Amino acid sequence: MIPFVIGPTATLSATTSSSRVQMGSAGAQIRIASPSANAIVYIAFGDSSVVATTSDMPLLPGTVEMFTIVPGQYIAGITASGSATLSITSGRGA
């Protein structure tokens, strides 16, 4: 197993309206941290038109998850109520 080599970090502010952020090309793995204890954030991956809905994958408050994506891909997030901020770090390894 290769340690996770950290690249740039993006912030996604999720509310009841879908928002998205594009990840850089630093690596194909991302680490998403959801430090907020306020809301579940539903996330979706795609191109520049991706929109998250509350039917997408839930990211629970206080969790950290790792994903493999296409470098440069967009990540969208939405909450059912309230708001939360996700910290998304790209890198390689894991």
Catalogue all structural domains in the chain, each as residue range(s) with its CATH number: 5-92 (2.60.120)
Task: Provide the Cα torsion 49, 42, 70, 29; round to 10°.
Answer: 150
pTM (2 decimals)? 0.88
User: Quick check: 92 pLDDT over 70?
Assistant: yes
Name which residue leads in pLDDT, 76 or 70. Answer: 76
The CA radius of gyration of the chain, in Å to the nearest whole number, is: 12
Q: Which two tokens stand for residue 47?
A: 């191109």
pLDDT single digits (tens) 5-27: 777 888 999 999 999 999 876 66
Q: Can you give the pLDDT at residue 7?
A: 75
If we measure between CA atoms, which residue out of 30, 4, 25, 7 comes closest to residue 71?
25
User: How far, CA to CA in Å, does 77 sit from each of 13, 70, 92?
Assistant: 8, 17, 23
**Alpha carbons 10 and 77: distance in angstroms, whole number:** 13
Q: Can you give the pLDDT at residue 70?
A: 86
Edge to edge, the sheet with strand 19-22 lists 19-22, 74-79, 41-46, 57-59
